[in-house]
Structure 1
Amino acid sequence: MVKIRQSRGARVFNVVNTVILLGVVVVTLYPFGNVLARSFSGEHYIRSGQVNLLPKGFNLTTYKTVMSDPVFWTNYRNTLLYTVVATAIAMVLTTCYAYVLSKHHLKGRGLLVGVALFTMFFNGGLIPNYVLVSGLGLRNTIWAIVLPNAINVFNLLVMKAFFESLPVDLEEAAAVDGLSTYGIFGRIVLPLSKAVIATMVLFYAVTFWNSWFSAFLYLDRTDLFPVTVYLRNLIAGATGGSDIGTASETALQIGANIQAVTIVLTVLPIMLVYPFIQRYFVRGVMLGAVKG
């Protein structure tokens, strides 16, 4: 086997490229490492700015306080339910709408594209949306969370571009074999779209998992809150308690690292899921960007 000898310029490029990429990795991972260290550190070390990448004054007070509250687990279950239901609805609507828009022979296609693009730049505003949701009787229900943001126009356009990049001959051959439009979509198009579908699932799931404002606006009952609203209220309460000179040691500890604990508890599930669909991520985005 003949070993190809790299030129001096190629070796220099590889070294420089490696150094730059390592720098990017460090810059990317350092903030999360710092947050993770702060979440396990003592209040004195956090306030004095001594925490870097390793915890100091190891402390689990905030974790114990948060995770021993049954309301936290109820709200965590709500978040999981909202995310799964909202992502499923969003994927069905986005996939079907994008497939329709990818058909250039469809009458009224320009109008449908225009409606989607219009909502990308304009919306009714906060008060009309609140009045609409309230008028439909959706307040204090799961539907107030999952329906108003069911279709993201950016995701819609990415999927539309992907469907347009699929060979037309495949669908024509399937039609000749007797498949209906729904059969072609379900048995030909969707199996070929696993990469972009996995990517869109990740986009939607992250969005719904981190969402809190809709729940804060439309939900009044504590047992219906997602965990993001629970942690938001906990931050507000802990911050207020830590500002009082007579606050207890526990309150001071919670006030010092509640934000770090919140970030860890919110990001951890997404980080655990991401490796399983990461291999589809780049491929799905690139395939969807072939045609605009």
Structure 2
Amino acid sequence: MSPQQSVKNYGSRGSRIFDVLNVILLLGLTLITVLPLLYVVAGSFAGESEIATRPFFLWPEKFVTSTYEYFFRTDTLMRALVTTVCVTAVGTVVQVMLTFTMAYPLAKRYLPGRALVLNLVIFTLVFSGGLIPTYLVVRDLGLLDTYWALILPLAVNPFYLIIVKSFFQELPQALEEAARIDGCSELGVFWRIVMPLSKPIIATFSLFYAVAIWNDYMSPLLYIDDNSKWTLQVIVRQLTGANAENALSTLDSVFFPVEGMKFAVVVIATLPILFFYPFLQKHFAKGVLIGSVKE
């Protein structure tokens, strides 16, 4: 097909109909995604009576901030928020470092036993120990009721590890050889040459790991019995469950706005990810694709 025919077909009636339907479909999907979020934000600023009487709204009749004021003056909620932030920050650093330090030597074809280790990594993509064996391992390691139980069991994602390994294999070997000639050790090559060149993929997988830790409620539910160590996601689960009214009454003796708190906690649990994503967006697409396709 010639370029003239391609331009002609692009402006045809069928092409225009397709574009219109495509736009309508994308707008519909956007509304399906955005409207619930807007409703949650609006509900967090609405009073209890308005939430009870209006099944759906995108703008409250009267803005109230009492729900957020209660959140930030309640020890249980603030402690859960601080715990989640700290666990996410430490966990992301630990998981990224373990993933990258394991992927770098596996990218070297001369590494003894490399094939065996890679096969074991790939094996975990298909098979896992399961919930009960994992719990028993965490218990026997003495990690129950500790924050490390929320970090170490999922410290290395095998799929991410393989992508990072492929990325390291694509880096020019001449750079590493030049660094070794200048006197760098293997560790020096990794820190001074490889890591600075890996900023896009570091940003991407830091975001992946951080989102996974931040949204994880199953691990604290299984491994944390002390409610003073609960993360924010456990609080969200408690508040949005069937016994929401009694969820925090056992921890705080004061009355709290049940319905408004459901919306406020969801907003607070969602905002950090929405805030940090734009700063990492420029690295996101490049980091997802890089290392996944061999040129």
Which category describes the TM-score, using the shorter chain as reference length?
A: 0.7 to 0.9
1:64 paired with 2:69, answer yes
* C-alpha contact (below 8 Å) 2:83/2:229 kept by paired residues: yes
Shift of 1:272: 1.5
In the alignment, the residues of structure 1 paired with residue 162 and residue 141 of structure 2 have an alpha-carbon distance, to the nearest angstrom, of 29
Q: 1:74 to 1:130 in 2, by over 3 A?
A: same
Q: 2:278 aligns to what? A: 275
- Name the structure 2 match of 1:264: 267
CA distance in 2, matches of 1:237, 1:25: 30
Describe the superposition over 1:42-61 as per-residue Cα deviations: whole angstroms up to 9, x where unpaired.
44443455423222454444
Q: Would the alpha carbon gap of residues 234 and 22 (structure 1) be closer, same or farther in structure 2, given more than 3 Å must change?
A: closer
Match of residue 287, structure 1, among 281, 287, 290: 290
Matched, 1:80 2:85: yes
Residues 30 and 235 (structure 1), Cα distance of their counterparts in 2 relative to 1, 3 Å cut: closer
Question: Which whole-Å CA distance do the structure 1 matches of 2:191 and 2:208 have between them?
Answer: 22
Q: State the match for 2:217 in structure 1.
A: 212
Distance 1:96 1:55, change over 3 A: same
* Map of 1:3 onto structure 2: none
Spell out, residue by residue over 1:125-168, the C-alpha distance to the aligned partner (whole angstroms, 9 max, x if none). 22222222222221222211111111111211221121122222
- 1:288 counterpart SS class: coil
What are the Cα deviations for residues 91-143 of structure 1, in whole angstroms up to 9, with x where unaligned?
A: 11100111122222322112111211222222222222222222222122221
TM-aligned CA deviation for residue 195 of structure 1: 0.1
> Partner amino acid for 1:120?
L
Aligned length: 278
Residues 9/42 of structure 1: CA separation in 2 closer, same or farther (3 Å cut): farther
What is the CA distance between 1:9 and its match in structure 2? 5.8
Identity %: 39
Q: CA deviation at 1:30?
A: 2.5
Aligned to 1:105: 110
> Structure 1 residue 208: deviation in Å?
0.8
* Counterpart Cα distance in 1 of 2:89 and 2:116: 31
Per-residue deviation at 1:190?
0.8
Partner of 2:125: 120
Supply the distance in 1 between the matched residues of 2:27 and 2:241 (Cα, whole angstroms): 37
1:199 is the counterpart of 2:199: no
The corresponding residue for 2:154 is 149
Checking the alignment, whether the CA contact within 8 Å between 2:145 and 2:226 is kept in structure 1 is: yes
* Alpha-carbon separation, structure 1, partners of 2:286 and 2:171: 14
SS in 2 for 1:116: helix
Q: Say which SS state the counterpart of residue 146 (structure 2) adopts.
A: coil
Residues 48 and 153 (structure 1), Cα distance of their counterparts in 2 relative to 1, 3 Å cut: farther
2:244 to 239, 244, 249: 239
Letter in 1 for 2:262: Q
2:169 maps to which residue? 164
The answer to which of 33-42 and 194-203 deviates more is: 33-42
Gaps of 5+ in 2: 1-6, 248-254
In the superposition, the TM-score normalised over structure 2's length comes to 0.82
CA RMSD of aligned residues (A): 2.9
TM-score (norm 1): 0.83
Give the partner amino acid of 1:282: A
Whole-angstrom CA distance in 2 between matches of 1:288 and 1:47: 51
